[in-house]
Amino acid sequence: MHYIEPHAHMVSRTTDDYQKMAQAGCRAICEPAFWAGFDRGSVEGFRDYYRQLTEYEPARAAKFGIPHFTWLCINPKEAEDVGFGHEVVSIIPEFLDKPTVLGIGEIGLNKNTRNEQVILEEQIGLALEHDLPILVHTPHLEDKLKGTRLIVDAMKNAQVNPDRVIIDHIEEHTARIVLDAGFWAGMTLYPESKCTPARAIDILETFGMERIWMNSACDWGISDPLAVVKCALEMKKRHHAEAVVQKVIFDNPKTFLSQSPNFQL
């Protein structure tokens, strides 16, 4: 079985995780910029983080034969201070010509505040300016439904091509909003929150297999870097054909990610 892990925060994972993912058939890992487990206090902290994503992690993954790609942004969890957010966004173009950068992400909303929306809109503009795809984070702690609607409205107001946007962390009550608007949808598989494999497969069976992917979003919390493979096995137990499983875990993410010329397998 071959699969793509389209959303994993490998800077928070051990080298053993790379080994396990390689053995499970992972053909590529994509790492969106994220929160560090604490709020960073300086722009230079972000500059070092972007160097880690674009230089160090690709080299670590390569030891196990896995191509590593990244998305760059300031995550909404650190976007409440608008002035600081502007400063961080201003250094992102320094890294956009790195050979493993796919686009801007994971931008979005965390608590659905106006300040978060300001930085979201600024980073949408950055993506449009550089003709880059976008990966979007929808809220966990606050109202996911409201946040998803705000994000979709922001994309429409900026006249973003929805084919170039993946809106992640969808659940049963937000999938229709995202897919009906023409965006791609991502399902995050977590042991204790977001989607269990059973819920994810229910969503697939309800909304279809088009423009949708699954990811582990493994990070510093309780999460599983092999969640995609385990969900694929559950799909087989429900008698989904091999071709259908491969579409969701490999073909779909490959189709979306290939919109970036840097994505090469």
pLDDT recorded at residue 229: 97
Query: Would you state the structure tokens that stand for residue 175, as one six-digit string?
Result: 């999938």
With 0-12 / 13-18 / 19 or more C-beta atoms within 10 angstroms meaning exposed / middle / buried, residue 171 is middle
| Banded model confidence at residue 37, pLDDT cuts 50, 70, 90 | confident
pLDDT over threshold 90, residue 146: yes
Q: What average pLDDT does the segment 226-243 reach?
A: 97
Q: Domain 3-257 sits in which CATH superfamily? A: Metal-dependent hydrolases (3.20.20.140)
Q: What average pLDDT does the segment 15-29 reach?
A: 98
| d(C-alpha 45, C-alpha 48), whole Å | 5
Q: What is the pLDDT of residues 177-215, one digit of tens each?
A: 999 999 999 999 987 767 899 999 999 999 999 999 999
pLDDT recorded at residue 221: 87
- Report which DSSP code applies to 215: E
Q: What is the pLDDT of residues 82-109, one digit of tens each?
A: 999 999 999 999 999 999 999 999 999 9
Q: What mean pLDDT is reported for the chain?
A: 96
Q: What is the pTM of this model?
A: 0.96
- Report which DSSP code applies to 237: H
3-state secondary structure of 197: helix
Amino acid (one-letter) located at 82: V
Q: What is the pLDDT of residues 106-140, one digit of tens each?
A: 999 999 999 999 999 999 999 999 999 999 999 98
Spell out a b/e string for 86-107, using b for 16 or more CB atoms within 10 Å of the CB, else e: eebbeebeebbebebbbbbbbb
- Sequence spans of domains, the chain: 3-257
Residue whose tokens read 């960073």: 40
